[in-house]
Amino acid sequence: MKFWNARRIQRTKEKKEQREERAWQQHLLQEFRKRTYTAGDARKNARLMLEALGSPLHRRMLARLRAGGAMSVSHLAEPFNIMLPDAMRHVHILERAGLIATEKRGRIRFCVYNPEAPRELSAWLTTHKPFDLDLDLD
């Protein structure tokens, strides 16, 4: 027969807290996956890319990367007169959408344009016709 002493109560409480923490971590991971590019999930990727391309600054950053090749975040943000933390925020949005890839070398983060992402978006748009409205105008 088990007795409820202080030590057993503490262990039970700790186990419950650990289960809740694991459940919370799983929830956070699922939410993160919803907001990041996933190869093969064209619908989600198209939504992420369209959200990212909705900003004129993001489109200009992509054009600069496509024309100039790989460059550091500070070099990428130079002509836009934005501070480095703001540039990093925009770069993270583009990276989560799969439009660019980043790599950190020492203290410098380099950005590289991903040419496959616009192709995937274009393919999805042509096959799904998201702007066709089925309206009866009678």
Domain match, 94 and 122 both: yes
Range of the domain at 12: 1-34
8 band by pLDDT with thresholds 50, 70 and 90 = confident
Domain match, 30 and 52 both: no
Domain match, 27 and 69 both: no
pLDDT at 115: 92
Characterize the bridge pairing of strands 108-113 and 71-72.
Answer: antiparallel
Given phi > 0 = left and psi -120 to 50 = alpha, else beta, which region is 9?
alpha
Summarize pLDDT for 61-111 with one digit per residue, the tens. Answer: 999 999 999 999 999 999 999 999 999 999 999 999 999 999 999 999 999
Query: For the chain, what is the radius of gyration of the CA atoms?
Result: 23
Domain match, 55 and 27 both: no
How many domains does the structure of the chain reveal? 2
Dig out the tokens for 123 from the structure: 């393919």
**In 3D, which of 87, 96, 1, 83 has the Cα closest to residue 47?**
96
Query: Model's pTM, two decimal places?
Result: 0.74
Is residue 136's pLDDT more than 50? no
Domain match, 21 and 53 both: no
What CATH number does the domain containing 79 carry?
A: 1.10.10.10
pLDDT at 1: 59
> Would 26 be classed as within a structural domain?
yes
pLDDT at 35: 82
How many residues make up the chain in this entry?
138
pLDDT at 133: 46
